[in-house]
Amino acid sequence: MNRPYTIATLGSHSALQILKGAHDEGFRTLAVATRDTERLYRSFAFVDEVIAVDSYSEFPKLIGELERRKVIIVPHGSFVAYLSLEEHKQMTIPYFGNKAVLDWEASRELQREWLTRADITMPRQFKTGAEIDRPVIVKLYGAGGGKGYMFIRDAHDFEQRSKELKKAYTIQEYIIGVPLYIHYFYSPLEDRLEIMSMDRRYETNVDSLGRIPAAAQEGMDVSPSYVVVGNQPVSLRESMLAEALRMGENVVRVSKEIAGPKGLFGAFCIETIITPDIKFYCMEISARIVAGTNLFIDGSPYSYLNYSEPMSTGRRIAREIKNALLTNNLRLVLDDGSVL
């Protein structure tokens, strides 16, 4: 059945997954691509329309045209990268998600308040180099993909290397454990949280250092870097799943206290590191679909348990929009500011 709405997104990040999911749920699909990527998006039969722009920073110029059509925007990481918080808020194209959550996500301080209220443990934060009393990771603001992050052993090491830091940064306790990114979907229609899938990122060179014995590393001028090169699927020990669900449920519950009654809904991801005592430390939360879900376009072991059919996060988003349409509840899944 063809639905009277077009689902649109920027042609990058997880656009293929989002548009394939929208197509499978009966929507028309639109990719806003650049001159470099338009051929790619046109090459897929499930993409009904491509609008090409010179650069994504031109997206705001299309807003008027898209507002006049029955378009629903599904945001992903590139929206945050290419549109400012203000541009996001000013955009009145119906938007899947709650924009009030963006402020809480964008500020590291507000994120910390949100997660702490949700009873989620975060690595300790250090305000100055002098306070450092254990290994830390120094994170540049807006780095993207872990670029430029530094592992620092102690306060002395920080003093020596801090001149390399040209941008604003935060200093966080370094947690030694396994990084696990948990992908969730919260349905406001059903008031239900689902674990969709999980991944770990494959990072260069930190994930390779273990291949060189520590003794051989001594004297080598090598320090870990955290640049993402890909993602690997993970299935979590079943005994740890209950904690994963608890964290997701708490995040949603607190979001309804801090970001209006709708709170955080749709896709989100909690980025964790699990230590040998089976404690989850949360590094960050992403309040929308993350690129690690691209591993599961055909579904994951967890989405199979719920759906017995291929259910990517992108398709789950389209399914929620479809269910909202069928039950006359579209306002529950689109941002408050939008009018259809």
Pick one of 82, 169, 174, 307: the residue that binds ligand ATP (CB under 6 A).
Answer: 174
CA distances from residue 295 to 196, 199, 291, 302, 313 in whole angstroms, order as listed: 11, 8, 8, 13, 10
Considering the rule CB under 6 A, would residue 24 count as an interface residue with ligand ATP?
no
Considering the rule CB under 6 A, would residue 123 count as an interface residue with ligand ATP?
yes
Considering the rule CB under 6 A, would residue 172 count as an interface residue with ligand ATP?
yes
Q: Which is nearer to ligand ATP, 111 or 306 (CB)?
A: 111
Could you give the count of Cα atoms lying within 13 Å of 167 in the half-sphere of its Cβ? 11
Considering the rule CB under 6 A, would residue 319 count as an interface residue with ligand ATP?
no
Which residue's entry shows tokens 């548009």? Answer: 19
Considering the rule CB under 6 A, would residue 272 count as an interface residue with ligand ATP?
no
DSSP-derived secondary structure letter, 277: T
Pick one of 110, 155, 283, 332: the residue that binds ligand ATP (CB under 6 A).
Answer: 283
Of 197, 205, 247, 199, residue with least CA distance to 224: 205
Which span (99-107, 170-178, 233-241, 304-312) binds ligand ATP, by CB under 6 A?
170-178
Residues 42-61 that bind ligand ATP (CB under 6 A): none
Residues 203-222 that bind ligand ATP (CB under 6 A): 203
Q: What distance in Å separates the CA atoms of residue 104 and residue 84, rounded to the nearest whole number?
A: 14
Considering the rule CB under 6 A, would residue 82 count as an interface residue with ligand ATP?
no
Pick one of 271, 275, 323, 330: the residue that binds ligand ATP (CB under 6 A).
Answer: 271
Burial 286-321 (b: 16+ CB within 10 A, else e): bbbbbbbbbbbbebbebbeebeeebbbbbbbbbbbb
Considering the rule CB under 6 A, would residue 64 count as an interface residue with ligand ATP?
no
Which residue's entry shows tokens 């993402």? Answer: 228
Where does 105-258 show beta strands of DSSP type E?
Answer: 125-126, 136-140, 150-152, 169-173, 178-187, 192-205, 226-233
Considering the rule CB under 6 A, would residue 106 count as an interface residue with ligand ATP?
no
Pick one of 26, 144, 261, 301: the residue that binds ligand ATP (CB under 6 A).
Answer: 144
Considering the rule CB under 6 A, would residue 157 count as an interface residue with ligand ATP?
no
Pick one of 143, 155, 236, 330: the residue that binds ligand ATP (CB under 6 A).
Answer: 143
Considering the rule CB under 6 A, would residue 282 count as an interface residue with ligand ATP?
no
- What single string gives the DSSP state of each residue in 120-150? -B---EESSGGG--S-EEEEETT--TTTT-E
As measured in angstroms, the least distance from the Cβ of 131 to ligand ATP is 15
Q: What distance in Å separates the CA atoms of residue 89 and residue 105, rounded to the nearest whole number?
A: 14
Q: What distance in Å separates the CA atoms of residue 251 and residue 288, rounded to the nearest whole number?
A: 13
Residues that bind ligand ATP (CB under 6 A): 123, 137, 139, 143-146, 149, 172-175, 179, 201, 203, 226, 271, 273, 283-284
